[in-house]
Chains A and B, each alone.
Chain A
C-alpha cells in the first residue's frame, strides 16, 4: 500500500482533458515539494512536473500541476495517443525519512 494515493486508472478520448489526483498527508505533500513522473514500460521514467507546478524544459504546457493542502493534481489537456503511460506522484516524507511514490495511474487514451 502506497503512502500517496492515486487512482489506478483514468481514460479519455484524444483531444480531451484528464485529471490525476494524488492524496497524501502533512508529512509529505503538505510540507514537501511534489513531482510528477511519466513512465512508459520498458523506458526510463521522465520528470514531468516539479515543485507542484513547474515544468522542466521540453515538457509541453499541456501538462500542468497544482496543490491544495495535502493533495496534488496533474492535468493533461489535448490528450494524444503518445500520452498513454503510467503516471506517478512522488515527494519526500518527513516522518518516514524516505522518498515516497503514489501507486501509479495508468492513462488510457481511447
Chain B
C-alpha cells in the first residue's frame, strides 16, 4: 500500500525556520511529481509547491515563493520542504502528496506546524 509519512512539524518562533520531510514507500517515487499542500485552522486546502520526479522543475504559490524551498532525494524516497522566515500565517497542517503535475493521487496524514512566540 502506498504510504507517505510527514515529519518535522512542531512549534517554532516567528522568523524561525523548519524543515519538513515526507518519506514515501510502496511506489516508484522517482516517477511522481510531489506536492506540498497546507490547511490553516478552520480553512480549506492551499497548494504550496510541487517538484518533478527528477527534481529539475519546481513551482511555488506566490504567497510562499522566496521563503519556502522544495527538494527531494530519490535515493531516500523523501521530499523536503524548507521553510524560512515563518510567520503566524504559516501555522497549518502540512500535507505532502504524490501525483502528476496537476493531480494529487495519494496524500500523507500531515504534520502540524505552529508559529508562535
Partner of A101, one of B44, B50, B101, B108: B44
Q: Total number of A-B contacts with CB less than 8 angstroms?
A: 67
User: Do the beta carbons of A35 and B107 come within 8 Å of each other?
Assistant: no
Question: Which residue on B lies nearest to A8, using beta carbons?
Answer: B44
The interface residues of chain A lying within 8 Å CB-to-CB of B83 are: none
- Residues of chain B within 8 A of A44, CB atoms compared: 4, 95, 106-110
Q: Known contacts A45-B45, A47-B103, A99-B50; can you find 17 more A-B pairs with CB under 8 A? A: A37-B104, A43-B109, A44-B4, A45-B104, A45-B107, A47-B107, A50-B105, A88-B44, A88-B45, A90-B45, A92-B101, A98-B47, A99-B104, A101-B44, A101-B45, A101-B46, A102-B44
Shortest A67–chain B CB gap in Å is: 14
For this complex, 23 residue pairs linking A to B, each with C-beta atoms less than 8 Å apart, are A33-B102, A35-B104, A37-B45, A37-B104, A44-B4, A44-B95, A44-B106, A44-B108, A45-B37, A47-B99, A47-B104, A47-B105, A47-B106, A51-B103, A90-B104, A91-B102, A92-B102, A96-B62, A97-B59, A98-B59, A99-B50, A101-B45, A101-B46
* Chain A contacts to B: CB under 8 angstroms: 2, 32-33, 35, 37, 39, 43-47, 50-51, 56, 86, 88, 90-92, 96-104
Interface check B72, CB cutoff 8 A: no
